[in-house]
Amino acid sequence: MYNEKILDHFMNPRNLGVLEDADGIGVLGDPACGDYIKVYIKVTDEHISDIRFQIAGCPAAIACGSAMTELAKGKSIDEAAEICDADILEYLGGLPEEKAHCSNLGAGALQNAIVDYMIKSLQQSHNHVVVI
């Protein structure tokens, strides 16, 4: 049912955990009734320098979250914003048709974390006082 790469990412998820000083946080799903993911990003020089995730879900969802972090780490914000479910599926070598929707979790939560980072960045830039 699952290929070796999916099983490896499920059994040994990369970048699992919390980033206490995250620059952006994104969530997707509903913890009360199904798969749920929370993504934390640290941004340095407009690149994702660190990324972590927490997840409650099936093996496919966990593997997709892990794969998403590997795809995003080191990428510029613009490059990471383009990561989609098809990229995650390709990276993992595909998923069974009934599990393909799991790739949406990682990509969507990453997008939400990037939006959160951008909003916080804009708010910080508006809080600076320029003295002439």
Active site members: 33, 102
Query: What torsion, rounded to 10 degrees, do the Cα atoms 119, 120, 121, 126 define?
Result: 90
Instruction: Convert the pLDDT of each residue in 14-26 to its tens digit.
Output: 999 999 999 999 9
Helix H, strand E, coil C: the string for 62-97 is HHHHHHHHHHHCCCEHHHHHCCCHHHHHHHHCCCCH
Q: How does residue 64 score in pLDDT terms, banded at 50, 70 and 90?
A: very high
Say what percent of the chain tops pLDDT 70.
95
Residue with tokens 């969507």: 108
Structure confidence at residue 34 (pLDDT) = 80
CATH architecture designation of domain 4-123: Alpha-Beta Complex (3.90)
- Going by the DSSP 8-state scheme, the letter that residue 129 receives in this structure is P
Q: What percent of the chain has pLDDT over 90?
A: 78
Q: How far apart are CA 36 and CA 54, in angstroms?
A: 8
